[in-house]
Amino acid sequence: MSDLKEMLFAIEITLVGITAGVLSIPYNSFLLTVIAGGMVLIGLLEAARTR
């Protein structure tokens, strides 16, 4: 059960990062792009570690 929670958390972080990346396009924000990339990387690494 703990692995499921960790995987769902990793997926959630990845989706938030992707959403921030999409929102950085209309706002033309480099900082938002950097934050989004970092969140996606953290989410994917967490998912790989959980697996």
pLDDT (tens digit per residue) in 1-40: 688 888 888 899 999 999 999 988 898 889 999 999 999 9
Q: What single string gives the DSSP state of each residue in 9-51? A: HHHHHHHHHHHHHHHHHHHT-HHHHHHHHHHHHHHHHHHHHH-
pLDDT at residue 1, as a whole number: 61
Can you read off the two tokens belonging to residue 38?
């970092």
pLDDT at residue 47, as a whole number: 86
pTM of the shown model: 0.79
pLDDT at residue 2, as a whole number: 83
Does position 51 have pLDDT exceeding 80, yes or no?
Answer: no
Q: Where are the domains of the chain?
A: 2-50
Sign of CA dihedral 33, 35, 38, 39: negative
Rounded-to-integer distance, Cα 10 and Cα 50, Å? 9
